[in-house]
């Protein structure tokens, strides 16, 4: 229970359905000064969760998962940016902190299920997209261990956000009108560079000046640290060119931010690693899939070209913009989440299936 409306309603629905519910709030980090209105971990959020639990008549506990979160999520977040990639900490938080570490705690109190306020559904041992297309959060859930699906309850996944809010009002939950949080919980003011500046040495290559180069190698300017840039970004680049420039790649080897026109962002394929499948039968080469390469990006049709261990290569039937190393790629069959992985690199040309 984060103290937000979704997990509050999830708990309320379970209580209403007659489950024996225990509320838990994860304390994931401590950023020194407690900032009000943070999506989680602030005193206010913990207090909100506690009050909701109290009003539902269920016990509530705060679990200190700061060490595990720091190791599995925060450090990796920093390391990825330092390597010129754009991570999604929420994926690793779900994979390791929520649906592994928190599940261990559930084991210890003999709780058979773990419920969250995610907009996603589980049916017949498969993970399905949430009913609310705008809110679907399966993009962040591909990394969990498949066996865990049988122990997940996602009560709001069958509802739209509007219905969730309506339900919260109906139940008189104090979190009913709480604002939506889109930010990364441990990033103050949405400025992730502050986190990097805190965690990395001042002379880290990712934070010191380097060249801005075009695809043909022409230096067109300098930047003050490639970790401040992400693929697809337009802001902070030199102007005065015939067409607007976008970041098309980050090259940590020579600290370069590579720029190009909008067309140069288009990709027709990608390679992903750390792939995790959430279905019993791993899709074989040639399987058509629907592919999402960014949260809220449109699903595009594609084909599996290569599966080697936990690495896959995918061809995209229609070109997509800004395939970004470090982001997730998630594969769907209709509403069913087949699996996902971390994007290693995009491919500008349509990849062909190896002979």
Q: Cβ of residue 246: shortest distance to other proteins, in angstroms?
A: 42
**Of 63 and 193, which has the nearer Cβ to other proteins?**
63
Q: Is 59 exposed, middle or buried (CB count within 10 Å of its CB: 0-12, 13-18, 19+)?
A: exposed
Q: Is 93 a catalytic residue?
A: yes
| Beta-carbon count within 10 A of 190 CB | 9
- The least CB distance from residue 27 to other proteins, in Å, is 4
Residue 219, classed as helix, strand or coil, is strand
- What is the smallest separation between the CB atom of 133 and other proteins, expressed in angstroms? 35
Instruction: Enumerate the β-bridge partners of residue 4.
Output: none
Q: Which residues of 270-300 are buried (b: 16+ CB within 10 A; e: fewer)?
A: bbbebbebbbeeebeeebebbbbbbbebeee
Question: Please, which residues have CB within 8 angstroms of residue 83's CB and are 6 or more apart in sequence?
Answer: 206, 252
Whichever of 22 and 264 has its CB closer to other proteins, that residue is 22
**Minimum Å distance from CB 63 to other proteins?**
6
Residue 99 or 119: which CB sits closer to other proteins?
A: 99
Helix, strand, coil percent values for the chain (each to nearest 5): 30, 30, 40
For other proteins, the closer CB: 41 or 304:
41
Catalytic residue status for 185: yes
Q: Among residues 57 and 239, whose Cβ is nearest to other proteins?
A: 57
Closer Cβ to other proteins, 21 or 316, answer by number: 21
Could you count the other beta carbons within 10 Å of the beta carbon of residue 75? 12
Closest distance of CB 108 from other proteins, Å: 4
Least Cα distance to 334 among 301, 312, 286 occurs for 301
**Residue 46 CB, nearest approach to other proteins (Å):** 5
Closer to other proteins at the Cβ: 57 or 284?
A: 57
Listing DSSP states for 224-293 in one string gives S-GGG--TT--TTS---SSS--EEEEEEGGGTEEEEE-GGGGEEEEEEEEEEEE-SSSPPPTT-EEEEE-
Which residues lie across from 62 on neighbouring strands?
25
Pinpoint the alpha helices (H) of the chain: 5-16, 43-56, 66-69, 75-82, 89-92, 103-108, 161-170, 192-199
In contact, 193 and 227? CB cutoff 8 Å: yes
List the catalytic residue out of 40, 41, 90, 185: 185
Is there a contact between 52 and 8 (Cβ–Cβ < 8 Å)? yes
CA geometry: angle 227, 73, 294, nearest 5 deg: 60
| Residues binding other proteins (CB under 8 A) | 22, 27, 43, 46, 50, 59, 61-64, 104-105, 107-110
Please tell me the distance from the alpha carbon of residue 10 to that of residue 157, in angstroms, as a whole number. Answer: 9
- Min dist CB 77 to other proteins, Å, is 22
Tell me the catalytic residues. 93, 185
């Amino acid at each position: 229970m984060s103290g937000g409306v979704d997990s509050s309603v999830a708990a309320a629905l379970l209580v209403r359905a007659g489950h024996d519910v225990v509320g838990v709030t994860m304390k994931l980090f401590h950023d020194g000064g407690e900032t009000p209105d943070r999506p989680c971990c602030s005193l206010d959020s913990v207090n909100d969760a506690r009050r909701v639990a109290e009003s539902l008549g269920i016990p509530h506990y705060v679990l200190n998962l700061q060490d595990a979160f720091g190791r599995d999520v925060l450090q990796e977040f920093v390391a990825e940016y330092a390597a010129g990639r754009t991570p999604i900490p929420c994926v690793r938080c779900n994979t390791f902190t929520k649906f592994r570490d928190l599940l261990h705690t559930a084991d210890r109190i003999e709780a058979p299920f773990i419920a969250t306020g995610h907009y996603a559904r589980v049916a017949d041992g498969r993970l399905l997209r949430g009913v609310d297309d705008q809110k679907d959060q399966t993009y962040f859930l591909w990394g969990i261990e498949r066996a865990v699906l049988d122990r997940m309850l996602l009560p709001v996944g069958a509802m739209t956000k509007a219905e969730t809010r309506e339900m919260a009002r109906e139940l008189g939950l104090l979190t009913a009108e709480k604002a939506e949080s889109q930010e990364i919980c441990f990033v103050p003011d949405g400025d992730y560079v502050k986190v990097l500046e805190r965690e990395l040495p001042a002379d880290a290559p990712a934070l010191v000046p380097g060249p801005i180069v075009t695809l043909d190698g022409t230096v067109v300017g300098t930047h003050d640290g490639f970790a401040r840039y992400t693929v697809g970004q337009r802001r902070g680049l030199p102007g005065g060119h015939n067409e607007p420039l976008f970041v098309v790649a980050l090259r940590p080897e020579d600290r370069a931010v590579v720029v190009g026109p909008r067309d140069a962002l288009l990709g027709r394929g990608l390679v992903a690693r750390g792939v995790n499948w959430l279905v019993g039968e791993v899709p074989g080469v040639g399987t058509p899939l629907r592919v999402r390469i960014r949260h809220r990006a449109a699903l595009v049709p594609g084909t599996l070209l290569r599966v080697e261990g936990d690495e896959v290569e995918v061809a995209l039937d229609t070109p997509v913009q800004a395939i970004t190393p470090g982001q997730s790629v998630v594969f769907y069959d209709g509403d069913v989440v087949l699996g996902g992985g971390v994007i290693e690199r995009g491919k500008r040309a349509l990849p062909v299936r190896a002979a």
